[in-house]
Structure 1
C-alpha cells in the first residue's frame, strides 16, 4: 500500500472512531489564545498523583474540543500548559502552530518541540493528523509519572528518534514504516541499529513509585505508539480507568 493509500485507511479508521464517540461537553475557558500569565507555571515536583490526573484530564478536554473543531494544536508540551494551582485552573496555550486538519493533506513536519515530536514528524510522515497531539500529551504524561522531564530527551531529531526507539524498540518502528510505505535515511537506520522494546515498569523507581500505578502505565502505553492510528483518542483517554476518580468528580459538578 502506498503512503497516501495508507493515510486514507488511517484517516477513515480515526474518523469512524471519533464519530462513534460523539462530541463532549466543553468548558471553553480551558483554551486560551493569549499568553495567560499564570503564577504557577512548573509544578511537576509538587503535584500529587491526584493533581496529575486532575490537570491532565482538563488538557484532554481541551484537545478533545479542538480536535472536534478540526484543529490540531501541534505544540503540546508542559510550557504550554498553564496551571493556577490555587484556583485549580488549567489553560492550554500557544496556538501559533495550530492548523486545521483536512484528510489527505500533507503537513509540514517542522512543528512541535523536539522532545514532544511524534515519530511521524521524525520520519517525515507528512500525512499526520490529530494523533500527533496525543503523542505529545503522552510524553508529558510519562514525564510526570516517571519524574523524568523530558521523558525522551534527544539532542537532535535523529537522536530523538533513537531515544524513542530505545524504549519502544525497532521492530515496531519497522512495522510502522512498512505499513505506511516510509523509509529511513541510511544514516538514521545505522544510528538506530536493532533495539529491544522496554517494559514501562522498567522506569519505576523509589522516587516515582506512588505515581506508577498499573492504570498510569497502561495509559502511557496507549498513547506512546509509533502508529498514529493505534493511539487512543482524547475522548477514549478521558474514559480510561486511570481517570475514573477525576471523571466521577467532574460529572458531579
Structure 2
C-alpha cells in the first residue's frame, strides 16, 4: 500500500477515476496543420503543428489504433491533471472524420534532446530540473495518478526558458489500494525491481525508482545507469549495484517468488558503494547530499523510497529552495502570508 495519497481516488466521485465513462468533446480538426514529424512511439506519431486560428505552435500526437479504453484513460488523466505544475497541458482532442483516428493537441516545448542537453548541465542545473520534475510527480501522485513511464525521453526541457514538462501520460494509471497492475509498463532501463520480479501491487513509488535511475545517469554521466539487455538482465544489472542479499530480503518481505530463469543468472553480488561510480568526468555533480539523495531513491523495497514530497525536502535541493525563496522576496510577494 502506498505510504502517501493511498485513498485519493476513494475520496473522489467515481467519475474522476472511471475513465471508461469519459465524455470526449471533440475539437475542430481543421484548426490545426502539421508542420513536421518530431517523433514516434509505440502508440503514436508525434508532429510539430500550428493552430491556424491563433498561429500558436503546438504538438499533435496522432494515436495509433489502440484500445478505446487506453485512449480514454490518457485523456481523462490529462484532464484531471490540467493546470498542474510542469504537467504538459492538453489543449484539444480532435479526430479525422474518415479514419476516426484521434489526435491529442499539446502545448509546444522547444526541447533539446537530453543526449545533447545533459552534458551541458552544471551541478545546479541537475538540482533545478530534478526538483521541477518532482513538482510534477508530487502533483500527479496527490491526484491519485502514477505516471509509470518516467525517463529522459518523457521529460521535455526548454533550457533557455528553464522550463520542464513531464509528457506522455499514455501509460499513466489511477492508483487504488490493493489493486494489482500490469508489470509491463515503463521502459526497461527505468523499470523498478517490483516490475522485474512481477510484483503487481505496486504504487506511486515506482515513479520514484525511475526518477532515481534517471538521476543516477545524470550525476554519474552514465546513460543509462542500469543497462540491461533484457528484463531479466535488467534485474541482474540492478543486483550488481544494490547487492543480492538486499534483493532476497526484499523478496522475503513481500513473499515474492523469483522466476526460475534467475537461478541461472543471479549469482551473489555484494552491494557496491555509490562512490565507486565517481570519476574525474562526473565528480563536479557528486556531493555527499547527491549520494544520500540517490541512495534514498534506489531501494529495492518500494516502501523505503522517498516520496516525491520527501524528496523535495531533501538537503540536496537546499540551493534550489533558497533561490526560489529569494526570487519570491525580490518580486515583492510576501513569503509568509
Q: So what's the TM-score if we normalise by structure 2?
A: 0.67
The Cα offsets for residues 5-59 of structure 1, whole Å up to 9 and x where unpaired, read as: xxxxx43xx138999xxxxxx9725100437442323111001000010111000
Q: Check whether the contact 1:54–1:246 (CA below 8 A) recurs between aligned residues.
A: yes
Counterpart selection for 1:41 from 80, 90, 113: 113
Off by >3 Å, runs of 4+ in structure 1: 15-19, 33-37
What are structure 1's unaligned runs of at least 5 residues? 1-9, 20-25
Cα distance in 1 for partners of 2:109, 2:322 equals 30
Question: What secondary structure, in the 3-state scheme, does the structure 2 residue paired with 1:82 have?
Answer: strand
Q: Check whether the contact 1:36–1:82 (CA below 8 A) recurs between aligned residues.
A: no
1:210 pairs with 2:284: yes
Cα distance in 2 for partners of 1:138, 1:30 equals 18
Q: Which has the larger radius of gyration?
A: 2
After the TM superposition, which of the residue ranges 185-194 and 102-111 deviates more from structure 2? 185-194
Give 1:161's aligned residue. 235
Deviation at 1:189, TM superposition (A): 2.8
1:96 pairs with 2:173: no
Counterpart selection for 2:4 from 7, 15, 27: 15
Give 1:172's aligned residue. 246
The Cα offsets for residues 190-231 of structure 1, whole Å up to 9 and x where unpaired, read as: 311111100100000000011111110111100000000000
Q: Check whether the contact 1:166–1:195 (CA below 8 A) recurs between aligned residues.
A: yes
The Cα offsets for residues 96-119 of structure 1, whole Å up to 9 and x where unpaired, read as: 000010000000000000000000
1:109 pairs with 2:98: no
Cα distance in 1 for partners of 2:7, 2:122 equals 31
1:232 pairs with 2:306: yes
Give 1:3's aligned residue. none
Q: Check whether the contact 1:77–1:140 (CA below 8 A) recurs between aligned residues.
A: yes
1:82 pairs with 2:160: no
Deviation at 1:183, TM superposition (A): 1.1
1:123 pairs with 2:210: no
Structure of higher RCO (CA pairs closer than 8 Å, 6+ residues apart):
1
Question: What secondary structure, in the 3-state scheme, does the structure 2 residue paired with 1:147 have?
Answer: coil
Q: Check whether the contact 2:5–2:141 (CA below 8 A) recurs between aligned residues.
A: no
Cα distance in 1 for partners of 2:157, 2:267 equals 40
Give 2:29's aligned residue. none
The Cα offsets for residues 89-139 of structure 1, whole Å up to 9 and x where unpaired, read as: 000000000001000000000000000000000000000000000000000
Larger proportion of helix: 1
Deviation at 1:248, TM superposition (A): 1.5
- Which structure 2 residues correspond to residues 190-205 of structure 1 after superposition, within 5 A? 190-205=264-279
Q: So what's the TM-score if we normalise by structure 1?
A: 0.89
Question: What secondary structure, in the 3-state scheme, does the structure 2 residue paired with 1:91 have?
Answer: strand
Give 2:13's aligned residue. none
Q: Check whether the contact 1:167–1:197 (CA below 8 A) recurs between aligned residues.
A: yes
1:31 pairs with 2:87: yes
RMSD: 1.9
Give 2:140's aligned residue. 66
- Would you say how many aligned residue pairs link Structure 1 and Structure 2? 236
Counterpart selection for 2:261 from 161, 168, 187: 187
Q: Check whether the contact 1:107–1:127 (CA below 8 A) recurs between aligned residues.
A: yes
Larger proportion of strand: 2
Distance 1:15 1:235, change over 3 A: closer
Q: Check whether the contact 1:35–1:93 (CA below 8 A) recurs between aligned residues.
A: no
